Amino acid sequence: MANVLRPALSLMVLMTLITGVAYPLAVTGIAQAVFPQQANGSLVRDSAGQVKGSALIAQDFTGDDWFHPRPSAGAFATVSSSASNLAPSNPALATRVKDSAAQLAVPDQGPVPMAMLTTSGSGLDPHLPPEAIRYQLVRVAAARHLPVQTVEQLVEKHIEQPLVGPPVVNVLLLNQALAQLQ
């Protein structure tokens, strides 16, 4: 029995040290050396060095003077991040979308972009399509007493082209740049 138990326990301890200690330390060390910004959460800081959020997680912005992100099924809480799981046939989803569309509608600008009415799969997506950002331009410029062209130029500077997929704008980074305008 000892002939079988001793090698089994030795192998278990060895594999625990390799996979539970050595490998995580190696991966963490490489990540810190090669990608320190990403390894530490892609934190966004203001001019004073204060952490304002993460470029990877949406934040709720309220008020007419900010660009608003897409809705969050989990109220922008990272612990409860998830999709709403409401089917297209669910009356609660239809009601929420109608209410949001009525609240966000801008006269003479056409329908509200779908990205501003629907949640992302994680509920925390920090990006919006440029069309959804442009839909908010007039409201933000008026609330900040800025020319629309100035805000539009700021938006154009913040359009990102990911490796895969359509262009997007990170709402947190755009709002941070907007705050620095004044």
Percent of the chain with pLDDT over 70: 91
> What pLDDT is attached to residue 94?
84
> What pLDDT is attached to residue 76?
67
Contact 95, 85 (CB under 8 A): no
154, two tokens: 């700021």
pLDDT digits (tens, 9 = 90+) for 155-172: 999 999 999 999 999 999
DSSP 140: H
Beta pairing partners, 45:
51
Return the HEC string of 4-73: HHHHHHHHHHHHHHHHHHHHHHHHHHHHHHHCHHHHCCCEEECCCCCEEEECCCCCCCCCCCCCCCCCCC
